Amino acid sequence: MKLAFSTLGVPRLPLSDVARLAADHGYHGVELRAHPEEPVHPAMTAGERSRARSDVAGQGMEILGVAGYARVAAPGDDLPVLAEIRDLLTLAHDLGAPFVRVLPGAAEGQSGEEADAAAARRLGASAGDAADLGVRILLETHDSHPTGADALRVLGAVGHRQVGALWDVLHTWLGGEQPQETFAALSPYLGYVQVKDVASAEDTFPLPPGAGVLPLTECVDVLSRHGWDGWLCWEYEKRWHPAAPPLADLLDTGRKHLSRLLNEAA
């Protein structure tokens, strides 16, 4: 498996610096948050996209994915959501990234059946664009659909190889799923795995991997046992927790812990 980290941990840092951090600390790539307040976003010009791709590749790093904010299960018209997904797919293609992250985002009070149907309809409608651009759309286990079982209801209805899953270990754990259960649900669809750590279900302040309570050992064990050989991406959410220590100070600690888990599982 290969290791990456998300730019959520280094908000607003220029991509050349992000890529240098990844290279200096032994990672293989980075996940880029796509938002107007970050260096990467769908309004980038062609020249900016080319420079961003070169900045990362120049350090020998890969761009794992573009983390977008399209909410595919949300109520409302389909067209704005489809346009947002299309823009993210084009951005990922131009950056050379194989994946685009989308969120479920169903509204409070929205029925589960309605949310599932909206997500499946929009993801299915976007699958052709994803195939044409050579990018895979990943539905993250998050918010209204926190578990593998939740995501499976949508992905099974879509049934397209360009639409898969992003396993966020925090949300499946908060949803009461064991790693073996999540893997069983998502394995046919799994794009990559987001790892992180927190002190407890009530205290989700970001911690280095291994310093909290999330079942990272069990996650890596089940992935290794089934021969899965994709990406582990450390999502250290300093963007939402300004008091958290700088990610740069923790990158060696995080890599060493994840590498140790991989070696032990092997």
DSSP class per residue in 196-265: -B-S-SS----B-TTSSSS-HHHHHHHHHHTT---EEEE---GGG-TTSPPGGGTHHHHHHHHHHHHHHH
* pLDDT value for 38: 94
d(CA 208, CA 179): 19
Residue 65 near residue 32 (C-beta atoms within 8 A): yes
**Residue ranges, the chain, pLDDT below 50:** none
**CATH, residue 107:** 3.20.20.150
Considering the entire predicted model, what is its pTM? Answer: 0.98
Block residue for tokens 């951090």: 21
DSSP-assigned beta bridge partners for residue 85: none
Q: Provide the residue range defining the domain that includes 254.
A: 2-265
- Put residue 61 in one of left, alpha, beta given phi > 0 → left and psi -120 to 50 → alpha: beta
* pLDDT value for 266: 84
Write the pLDDT tens digit of every residue in 17-35: 999 999 999 999 999 999 9
Q: Give 60's DSSP letter.
A: T
DSSP-assigned beta bridge partners for residue 232: 3, 193
Domain total of the chain = 1
